[in-house]
Amino acid sequence: MLGNGKVIGNFKRRGMILLVMDLNETIDLCRESLRLRRLDDPEHHATLFNSSLTLCSCFTHTRKNEDVEEAIHRCQEPLAALSSLHPVWFFSYARLQEAYLSRYQILHDPADLSLAVENFRLASSHFTQGFLERIIQVYNWAIAAGQHGHGSTLEAYSTFFELLVAHLTT
């Protein structure tokens, strides 16, 4: 029985190494794509967000803080470059909350949870997106706040029902 556990442990370890290698390759490809794309390319922001998601995933496996820091930076780039009325801001907020929440889940720093909640709040109130996208964001906010005992849980549920009522009455 002990031998089987050792084999399974070795298999899981090799699988993790391959996963991290795949993530690193994906990150390198995203970086190369960002270097090749012009800033005014309409797909530039999608590449930033894909890069951010991959970096967050890598961070959860390797726990290298520079990965999540780069993910946060990638999400903040459009906020500095575009008008606050641009629809990409919604996606920046959505990806920022994912980055901060993934870092909170590893490092347990309450500041990261607060930053995640603030970005949930901003995404759910960004009027450039329809009700459904905003309802999904606020639903995820309510779940995350409840799971982690954050004080914004009631606000998230209240906002959820406000958006839902507004959506159903239109």
pLDDT in tens, 9-34: 444 555 556 666 777 787 777 778 77
Average confidence score pLDDT of the chain = 85
| DSSP assignments along the chain, one per residue | -HHHHHHHHHHHHHHHHHHHHHHHHHHHHHHHHHHHS-TT-TTHHHHHHHHHHHHHHHHHHH--HHHHHHHHHHHHHHHHHS-TTSTHHHHHHHHHHHHHHHHHHHH--HHHHHHHHHHHHHHHT-TTS-HHHHHHHHHHHHHHHHHTT-TTHHHHHHHHHHHHHHHHT-
Comparison of pLDDT for 42 and 156, the residue scoring more: 156
Q: Locate the domains of the chain by residue range.
A: 2-168
pTM above 0.95, yes or no: no
**Per-residue pLDDT, 156:** 98
| pLDDT computed for residue 11 by the predictor | 44
CATH number assigned to the domain covering 2-168: 1.25.40.10
Quick: pLDDT tens for 136-157.
Answer: 999 999 999 999 999 999 999 9
